[in-house]
A and B are shown apart, each in its own frame.
Chain A
């Protein structure tokens, strides 16, 4: 297990290094002059060459690219993530301030997806091709197709029209006021959770049906066990592994999707900070936030792999 863990961690580290390099390349080398990117063509043309040189040096953008890249890595290791070009607050502050909201949304979405998806999947697998199964499958097909940000917009609009309700739009952390905080995060969490739940329902249904066809389940049936006991005790634990993987993969959708969903709900999370930074062409912020999102995705997939190896010894020893 320890060897497996070490190998997996090494892979993740290499991947992350590659991720950081590609983020750097995408944001620095592709578009030519970063000042044009930040200021726009007209803004750039209005500046004197001396100003340009000064600002470039200020931003640390006038060094050779390999030096810049190396310095960025050192900065990350030291927890110094640079400054927003427009706001003056550091990226680290931004992450600490807004990160908890987005993290809450992600975790709650995960909880919602399992709470909704697993029971629905089990129900479907209990009586395949029955009416409830058909309904559940139709719903999951529908929720996979509905874009989360649109569903979010509709929910916000409906609450506003019918109840005159609007969730708080300032940052309220859980430890400051749990009730207000919940009002902020619950909407995006439910929207993201339902979409994931649809995948989980689908996956757990197909995996359960696969397992139910196996010999040990027939043995359990032959012993005269109740159907409920067979599914919950014998089939479910064996069917859960792929569902866990899916959940980890889905995190990619949640991370990406949360950016749009936060925008739809007007939630002041990290996703909105990223969108703002992209629109303002705030390179330093974008670079660090994109890396952060990718890093979370990679790390969660490592955790999923580890949980896999822990739950299924066949993987650990192969």
Chain B
């Protein structure tokens, strides 16, 4: 009942307050409004949740051990035994795709959270402190952005060795300048607000003002950034795996599976098709969700998002 009531009230009316008596009720109402306005985004979120569930529950869902070779059933096309077929050494493709979700999502999520957080904190400091610190930081971010993403990630993961942490670190570094630039511009405008000035006037230290007054304002753009970059991170992870410089085999990742599939003389289509489909669906889901969150939380970012990536160039 609470749910229905929360979905109905006119926006901004006192009914909203009444219906959302409990915190959960108001959250559900909020979600209901969001999904009615952004059906596609809600769908993307739902699919995203489903994929996260698959990743977490992989041991329960996968029909076989993803690493166990079965030499009696090598290179089998999809049939009743192996729903998505088997690879060159008889490992079950479905199980590997399911376990692949684990690696891919874990790498992408950690990399985006790490990179965006570092970048955002840096951006807050740049936007609030300005001066020489900002100037130098901007040059550093420009340098980071001068590299094509994938190539920078390749070089870094080559330098610090392949492996899960290396890949996460490599992708995270490519995400830093995006957080830095966007959040910096937010911090620049927030620092001129009267309440920030009041904080400064009452003798708060720069650190305190940044943490308690500027940072909370950056939460919305931070969420937008993180979701929109999830898809990019997943593609970079897959590409690294595909090129053989990602998380090393035999760990099943979607990129590794694609790499495996083209080493065959006549590549089996199911090996090439299903992991890629998993990547596409995941990226699509997160992109749709990200677009929806952006439209809801921060419409100002919308057309400017890609422009922002150019280095905050104004029109």
Contacts and interface: CB of A to CB of B under 8 A. Distances in A.
Q: Which of B152, B261, B287 has the largest number of chain A CB atoms within 10 A? A: B152
Interface of A: 14-16, 18-19, 22-23, 26-27, 30-31, 37, 141-142, 144-147, 149-150, 153-154, 157, 160-161, 199, 203, 206-207, 210, 241-242, 245-246, 248-249, 252-253, 255-257, 259-260, 263-264, 274-275, 278-279, 281, 286, 290, 293-294, 297-298, 301, 305, 308
Contacts of B85: none
Given A18-B139, A141-B284, A150-B276, A259 B243 contact: yes
A150 B148 contact: no
Contacts of A255: 148, 151
Contacts of B53: none
Given A301-B310, A301-B311, 7 more contacts: A16-B146, A26-B159, A30-B160, A147-B238, A150-B258, A249-B310, A297-B146
A290 B146 contact: no
Contacts of B195: none
Nearest to A153: B272
Interface string B294-315: 0000000001001101110101
19 contacts: A15-B139, A19-B147, A27-B158, A147-B238, A153-B272, A157-B267, A199-B306, A207-B303, A242-B315, A245-B307, A246-B310, A256-B151, A259-B151, A260-B243, A274-B151, A274-B154, A275-B244, A278-B243, A279-B244
Given A15-B143, A154-B276, A281-B158, A147 B151 contact: no
B303 A147 contact: no
B57 interface: no
Interface of B: 139-140, 142-144, 146-152, 154-156, 158-161, 231, 235, 238-239, 242-245, 258, 261-262, 266-267, 269, 272-273, 276, 279-280, 283-284, 287-288, 303, 306-307, 309-311, 313, 315
A30 B159 contact: yes
A147 B148 contact: no
Nearest to B272: A153
B313 A263 contact: no
Contact of A147 (B143, B156, B239, B306): B239
Nearest to B240: A260
Contacts of B161: 31
B150 A259 contact: yes
A214 to B, nearest CB: 13
Contacts of B261: 153
A145 B245 contact: no
- Most chain B CB atoms below 10 A, which of A16, A141, A278: A278
A264 B262 contact: yes
A293 B151 contact: yes
Nearest to B266: A160
Contacts of B258: 149-150, 153
A290 B155 contact: yes
Nearest to A304: B310
A120 B150 CA distance: 28
B147 A297 contact: yes
A14 B267 CA distance: 46
Given A15-B142, A144-B287, A242-B307, A253 B280 contact: no
Given A147-B238, A154-B276, A157-B272, A31 B160 contact: yes
B142 to A, nearest CB: 5
Contacts of A279: 243-245
Nearest to A277: B158
Contacts of B154: 259, 274-275, 278
A45 B283 CA distance: 44
A161 B269 contact: yes
A203 B306 contact: yes
Contacts of A293: 147-148, 151
A150 B258 CA distance: 8
Contacts of A147: 235, 238-239, 276, 279-280, 283
Sorted nearest first, the 10 A-B pairs with minimum C-beta distance are A256-B148, A256-B150, A150-B276, A18-B143, A145-B284, A255-B148, A145-B283, A260-B239, A30-B159, A252-B148
B313 A305 contact: yes
A35 to B, nearest CB: 14
Contacts of B243: 259-260, 263, 275, 278-279
Contacts of A207: 303
Contacts of A297: 146-148
Given A161-B269, A263-B242, A290 B315 contact: no
Nearest to A289: B151
B137 to A, nearest CB: 12
B280 A145 contact: yes
B49 to A, nearest CB: 17
Nearest to A241: B315
Contact of B155 (A27, A157, A161): A27
A256 B148 CA distance: 5
Nearest to B268: A157
B175 to A, nearest CB: 14
B280 A146 contact: yes
Given A147-B279, A256-B151, A298 B146 contact: yes
Contacts of B310: 245-246, 248-249, 301
Nearest to B267: A157
B139 A154 contact: no
Contacts of A260: 150, 239, 242-243
A29 to B, nearest CB: 9
B44 to A, nearest CB: 10
B77 to A, nearest CB: 13
Contacts of A290: 147, 151-152, 155
Contacts of B315: 241-242
